[in-house]
Amino acid sequence: MHNAILVKTDRGQQAVRDRDSCPELTGRLRTLLLQVDGQKTGAALAALAGPLGVPADGIERLLALGLIARPAAPVADVPDSESDDPPVELIEAAPPPLSEDTLVRLHQAKQLMNQAAGEYLGLKAMFFTRKVEQCTHPEALRPLLDQLRQGIAKAKNPVRAELVLHDIVVLLEHNI
């Protein structure tokens, strides 16, 4: 299962939208569930589990709860003349998974962005951190980095914004 790409099931997507829909889902397991994006392998998710404070059996727990699964294998389309069955919808191939180094850098950049948002954005930080946590690729953080820069510049000053965001930019430049 570690080499398999994992995806959220319908139940997993519902658990992300509504925290009360799955009472067995702890906060740390939910954090791991948020990382499941249909691009990461079980091994990549396991590598993220430790830094996120998720128990070693976190992936197995999410599987047991029916919140994640391996995607269905693509099925060849059978011409109508050979089958009376309804057509089968093919699953698009997932883009290649991110390297473990990229995943670690992404996680570190997200942590720094969330920390800066909490310190400088006030009530807006809650909505901002939600957007940050939904990002599954370093490129997706770029527009949020600009929003954070503007928020810090407004709260303090542009020089402070650049100082705070320097480490985040360095992490992202290695991936973009």
Residue 18 lies in a domain: yes
* Whether 129 contacts 123, CB under 8 Å: no
Number of domains in the chain: 2
Confidence of residue 89 (pLDDT cuts 50, 70, 90): low
Kindly report, residue by residue over 120-158, the tens digit of the pLDDT: 888 888 889 889 988 888 888 888 988 998 988 888 888
Kindly report, residue by residue over 75-88, the tens digit of the pLDDT: 444 444 444 555 55
Output the six-digit token pair for 132. Answer: 């940050």
Over the Cα atoms of the chain, what is R_g? 19
Output the six-digit token pair for 54. Answer: 């998720």
Tokens 């995943």 — which residue? 103
Are 63 and 105 part of one and the same domain?
A: no
The DSSP H or E segment spanning 68 is: strand 68-69
Residue 79 lies in a domain: no
Residue 125 lies in a domain: yes
Residue 53 lies in a domain: yes
What pLDDT does residue 67 have? 92
The boundaries of the domain holding residue 31 are: 7-69
Q: Which of 69, 88, 117 is the last residue of a domain?
A: 69
Tokens 């180094």 — which residue? 101
What pLDDT does residue 44 have? 84
What pLDDT does residue 78 have? 41
Are 104 and 63 part of one and the same domain?
A: no
Are 65 and 109 part of one and the same domain?
A: no
Residue 80 lies in a domain: no
Are 65 and 108 part of one and the same domain?
A: no
What pLDDT does residue 158 have? 84
Q: Which of 26, 51, 69 is the last residue of a domain?
A: 69
Residue 84 lies in a domain: no
Q: Is 91 helix (H, G, I), strand (E, B) or coil?
A: coil
The DSSP H or E segment spanning 50 is: helix 42-52
- Region label for 72, one of left (φ > 0), alpha (ψ between -120 and 50) or beta (otherwise): beta
Are 60 and 107 part of one and the same domain?
A: no
Kindly report, residue by residue over 48-73, the tens digit of the pLDDT: 888 788 888 888 889 889 999 887 65
Residue 127 lies in a domain: yes
Residue 82 lies in a domain: no
Are 111 and 48 part of one and the same domain?
A: no
- Most distant pair of Cα atoms in the chain: their distance: 69
pLDDT at residue 176 is higher than 80: no
